[in-house]
Amino acid sequence: MMIQRTVCFSSLRKLLHHPACVSSSSSKIGAYNGYASQPSSSLPLPLPSYNGEEYANVDWDSLGFGLMPTDYMYINKCSAGQNFRNGQLSRYGHIELSPSAGVLNYGQGLFEGTKAYRKENGKLLLFRPEQNAIRMKNGAERMCMISPSIDQFVDALKETVLANKRWVPPPGKGSLYLRPLLLGTGPVLGLAPSPEYTFLIYASPVRNYFKEGSAPINLYVEEDYDRASRRGTGSVKTISNYAPVLMAQIRAKSRGFSDVLYLDSATKKNLEEVSSCNIFIAKDKYILTPATNGTILAGITRKSVIEIARDHDYQVEERGVTVDELIEADEVFCTGTAVGVAPVGSVTYRDKRVEYISGSGTICQELNSTLLGIQTGIIEDKNGWVTEIN
């Protein structure tokens, strides 16, 4: 049994800076090499106090995209037929699950991904968190799950960021990646919705997703495996969509590619997605991206890039995009919370390698600079996308 301290958001600011609070960890990044998670504390612990130390002891210049456990995670539970109520902050660690939990037996689970950024003045920002909440709510409906309200979701993100404030990288050094999970944790034997659900958020400081860093990536067009099929769950951020892409991804990486670009399962002629991000192609002032027609995830970064591009007088179309159009494009780039706006240097299709322009002066670079500027508070947010955490 896990005994946790309940912390309401309104009192969190005072607790974080109370002189009686003691920072729980001064571990360096090296302490997490080969990290194995520890059980959550069974006793209430004080929330972290920074005592004048603004950051955790991390080599921010060496930050990549890997798990670096922070101090606290957020947990909220709900039984079937009820609604989520007040959640709790707990020390980061193991959670207990029944062997017959719905998420373990039938894959009844969803996840989200978003980031917190630090401004030059030290204030912390979230980017369109309500969109993640809406997407989780839509996914929960498709997966027959109970979900937190939009306000509960956003407030939980804020609590998690504030509790792990010292792990938010300095400006320009990365972001605090937040992973909300919605899991069917109640016991089931026969195929049925779980009788209990857990909403959980953990965090990790991150920087570049691909090993290439900000350099262009190289994609392989996959024809042997499908990512999603019509009338399936390709448009839902369910956990069961991601493990199936590993085989094709591992095979592509063993051949020197960064990732896999999938085609539609019906005709094998139209682009769908990369393993965990959306795809765009550009030529002159025209930008194309596959329409979210039920097999493609409606990415929040994708949505934002489309709006930014239109504001910059690009003509953006959301429709079926063929392999032939991909081959004829001037630029190709990917979008996602983890990757941002990532340039594609080449795509290999049936052993034919096509190269694309990248670097300074490209559409990709323009859109990425604008998006990141808004996310980090450098560029004025005229759309109300940024939420400041007070």
**Could you give the residue numbers annotated as active site?**
237
Q: Are 319 and 291 in contact (CB under 8 A)?
A: yes
310-339: b (≥16 Cβ within 10 Å) or e: eeeebebeeebbbbeebeebebbbbbbbbb
Secondary structure element (H or E) that encloses residue 351, with its range: none
Tell me the two tokens of residue 233: 């769950």
Strands 114-118 and 175-184, sheet pairing: antiparallel
The SS3 call for residue 295 is coil
Q: How far apart are CA 299 and CA 275, in angstroms?
A: 13
The answer to whether residues 37 and 92 touch, using CB atoms and an 8 Å cutoff, is yes
Residue 232: what residue type? G
Secondary structure class of 126 (helix, strand, coil): strand
Whose structure tokens read 């003691």? Answer: 22
Alpha-carbon torsion 175, 176, 177, 180, what sign?
Answer: negative
Residues in the chain: 390
Torsion of CA 74, 79, 85, 86, to 10 degrees: -40
The answer to whether 222 and 260 are in contact (CB under 8 A) is: yes
Q: Are 44 and 4 in contact (CB under 8 A)?
A: yes
